[in-house]
Amino acid sequence: MSDDKFPGYEVINSGCLQRIAEATEAMAKTHVQLQNDYNYMRESRDRYRTLYEKEAKRSAAFKGLVKRYKANKK
């Protein structure tokens, strides 16, 4: 390879650094999306857990009423 066709180390280094910077930015975008998904899933889990606990209490109260009704009916 002749010296007039060789781009030079500075050009090669700057090109490599640009590719590394672009790859880092792409990873950061993915990381932010993963964080957003995690927060959404955690909020959904908490919301459904609250609904489940509320329904469990309602079910227990209803079972208590049925038991009390059967005891008073005898």
What confidence tens digit (pLDDT) does each residue in 62-73 have? 999 999 999 988
Q: Do the domain assignments include residue 1?
A: no
Q: Region 45-49: what's the mean pLDDT?
A: 98
- Is 40 within a domain? yes
- Is 25 a member of any domain? yes
How many domains does the chain fold into? 1
The pair of structure tokens assigned to 11 is 């050009």
Q: Say yes or no to pLDDT of 8 above 90.
A: no
Q: How far apart are CA 18 and CA 11, in angstroms?
A: 11
In a domain, residue 69? The reply is: yes
Given a cut of 60, whether residue 2 has pLDDT beyond it is no
Helical (H) or strand (E) element with 53: helix 9-73
Q: What is the pTM of this model?
A: 0.55
Domain that holds residue 31: 6-74
Q: Distance between alpha carbon 44 and the CA centroid of its chain, in Å? A: 10
Question: Rounded to whole angstroms, how far apart are CA atoms 18 and 6?
Answer: 19
